[in-house]
């Protein structure tokens, strides 16, 4: 989320009953994390909005900076995604500023998952803003644009991002400058994407994907209250129908802890469920959450 001033990371701890505290994984100093992804070995990949870099964290090991600051033109590190099958780390790079590296045009960046070496850069068309990303079972990468009401797609082997779904329903008021477009995104493992607006709203949006990979209908999924700064949407893939835990967090540093609430999870059937636990942890650390059995 652009201009997010959070002093914490929120993770959904999918666990039941009393448990011992999960391990605490420290981040590098002055990291200002924006997004997190998990690799097949359990490593966390955490982007730094301030450093223009990505760290790899593993329980029992010190944090390692995998993608060095400014590598491949990385600036404001937004969404990160692990593509283990292709050995790739995908990263959205923003251009808002407030970083320790030079600003660059917003783009989708590709890195080697093992070494952090640069593998590609895909500029956002029409001066768009690469905010978050998701991947389907065919390897297509979908990117939300915060400056336009659209989702872009990069098929495997393609050399440029292309608009995939442009729709008036994907726009809202612009709470931060011209950021009237989209924020978070998730793929449900079937044939739907779920996206959120940059603007506060009492809903998220589902986009159907047909059997040919084309974008279909946009449907509102209503929530019981207004959601602010909705980001970090994930699918509970072991559940049918799939549910989407989300992070809905306050924007300012001062009221982050005061406004933290149990977060709703959206179902594909438009019903609402709540995850068992939602916790916030101090900046500079990630607490690994146990999975429900």
Domain residue limits at 282 = 8-287
pLDDT at 176: 81
In a domain, 258, yes or no: yes
**Within-domain flag for 292:** no
Mean pLDDT by 10-residue block, N- to C-terminus, for the chain (293 residues)?
32 41 80 92 93 93 95 97 97 94 97 98 97 96 97 97 96 88 91 92 93 94 85 68 51 31 33 30 38 32
Share in percent of the chain as helix, strand, coil (round to 5): 5, 45, 50
Torsion of CA 45, 194, 225, 248, to 10 degrees: 10
Decide if 1 is inside a domain.
Answer: no
Domain total of the chain: 1
- pLDDT value, residue 225: 85
- Predicted local confidence at residue 234, as pLDDT: 79
Residue 147, domain member (yes or no): yes
Task: Please check whether residue 3 lies inside any domain of the structure.
Answer: no
Give the per-residue pLDDT at 123: 97
Which pTM value belongs to this model? 0.79
CATH of residue 116: 2.120.10.30
At residue 243, the pLDDT reads: 54
Three-state SS string over 62-73 comes to: CCEEEECCCHHH
CB 110 within 8 A of CB 128: no
């Amino acid at each position: 989320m652009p201009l997010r001033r959070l002093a914490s990371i929120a993770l959904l701890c999918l666990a039941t009953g009393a448990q011992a505290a999960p391990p605490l994984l420290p981040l590098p100093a002055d990291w200002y994390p924006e997004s997190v992804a998990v690799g097949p070995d359990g490593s966390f990949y955490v982007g730094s909005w301030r450093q223009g870099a990505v760290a790899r964290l593993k329980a029992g090991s010190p944090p390692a900076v995998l993608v060095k600051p400014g590598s491949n033109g990385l600036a404001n590190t937004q969404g990160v995604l692990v593509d283990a099958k292709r050995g790739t780390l995908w990263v959205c790079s923003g251009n808002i500023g407030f970083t320790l590296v030079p600003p660059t045009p917003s783009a989708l960046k590709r890195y080697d998952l093992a070494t952090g070496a640069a593998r590609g850069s895909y500029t956002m068309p029409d001066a768009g803003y690469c905010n978050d990303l998701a991947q389907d079972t065919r390897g297509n990468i979908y990117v939300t644009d915060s400056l336009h009401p659209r989702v872009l797609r990069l098929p495997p082997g393609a050399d440029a991002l292309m608009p995939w779904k442009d729709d008036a329903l994907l726009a809202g008021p612009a709470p931060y400058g011209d950021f009237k477009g989209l924020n978070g995104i998730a793929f449900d493992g079937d044939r739907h994407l779920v996206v959120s607006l940059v603007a506060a709203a009492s809903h998220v949006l589902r986009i159907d994907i047909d059997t040919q990979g084309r974008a279909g209908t946009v449907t509102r999924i209503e929530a019981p209250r207004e959601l602010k700064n909705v980001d970090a949407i994930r699918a509970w893939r072991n559940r049918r129908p799939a549910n989407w835990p989300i992070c809905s967090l306050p924007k300012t540093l001062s009221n982050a802890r005061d406004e933290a609430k149990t977060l709703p999870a959206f179902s594909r059937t438009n019903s609402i469920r709540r995850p068992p636990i939602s916790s916030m942890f101090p900046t500079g650390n990630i607490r690994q959450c146990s999975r429900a059995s």
